[in-house]
Each structure stands twice: as C-alpha cells, then as structure tokens.
Amino acid sequence: MSEDMEQSDLERGLRSALRAVDPGEGFAPRVLARIAVEPAQVERPARAGAMVSWLAFGLAASVVLAVLLAHEWQVRRLEQGREARRQLIEALRVTDEKLDLTYRVVNSREGAATAEHSGA
C-alpha cells in the first residue's frame, strides 16, 4: 500500500469493509421472545403521576425481591456448606477405611505386600 493513499481508495475500502453483516436467523425469534416476556412495559403511563406511582411500586417490589433473594441465597449457602462438610467427613472416612484395609491385609498371614518408598 503506498504512503499516499488516495481519498477515493480509502473511501472505497471503507465502503467495502463496512458492508452490513447479518446477525443470523435466530435474531428475529429472539426479539419476538423478548417482546413476549416484556409485554407489560408496552403500555406507557398515561400521566406523569401514574408513572411516578408505577416507579415507586416497582422500586418497592425490587427491594422486597432483593431481600427475598438474599434470604434464599443464605439458606441455600447454609445447605451447601452443611452438605460439603458432610461429604468431606465421608471422604475422609472412606480414605481412612481403605488405609485400614491395607493395614489389615499387610498384617494378615496370607497378605502379600510390596512397600516401595517413593523417595519423597
């Protein structure tokens, strides 16, 4: 490309480079799906007063929802934590059980064991 690129070359290049691209076949269905879940917002409030009331209600509802979600999250976290603790204990139990099994076999008369130090 030469240093002194002509204006027309640049503009031609831009027109070519900036050709429209299609978002894909699923785009329109996704728009319609979004319309389907947000129909309540289609109607605009008739008066400013109604809009303020709607906003205030919406804000209060949001706060309540946030509190409920936080509580639900806490409950879920508690359940998850207890379950994790239970699983930890169980995992340690199984580990210890198998190590004991190894010991039993080693100490039984018929057990044959190979102990190779890892050198660690």
Partner 1 sequence: MAVLFSGWRWLAGPLVALAASSALAAPAAMLNLPDFDALAAKATETVNISLDTSLLALAASFLDSSDPDDAATKELIAGLKGIYVRSYTFGQDFAYPAAQVDLVRKQLAPPAWQRLVEVNSTKDHTHVQIYVAADRGVANGLAIIASEPREFTIVNIVGSIDLAKLHRLEGKFGIPKLDLPDSKDGKDGPKDGGKHDR
Partner 2 sequence: MSGDGECTGGDLLTRDLAGERAAFGALVRAHQRLFFSLALRMLADRHAAEDLSQEVFLQLYRNLSTVSSESHLVFWLRKVTMHRAIDRLRRAPPLERAAPEEATAAASETEPGDPLLERRLRSLVAELPPAGRAVVLLRFQEDLDPVEIARTLKMPLNTVKSHLRRSLAQLRERMTETADVLT
Q: Which residues bind partner 1 (CB under 8 A)?
A: 80-82, 84-85, 87-120
Which distant-in-sequence residues (6+ apart) come within 8 Å of 53 by Cβ? none
State how far the Cα of 74 lies from the Cα of 44, in Å rounded to an integer: 37
Coil vs helix vs strand at 119:
coil
Measuring CA to CA, which residue among 78, 81, 79 is closest to residue 89?
81
- Choose the one of partner 2, partner 1, none that binds residue 114, judging by a C-beta under 5 to 8 angstroms depending on kind: partner 1
Mask of contacts with partner 2, 90-109, x by CB under 8 A? --------------------
* Minimum gap (Å) between residue 67 Cβ and partner 1: 24
Q: Which residues bind partner 2 (CB under 8 A)?
A: 1-3, 5, 7, 10-11, 13-23, 27-32, 34-36, 38, 41-42, 44
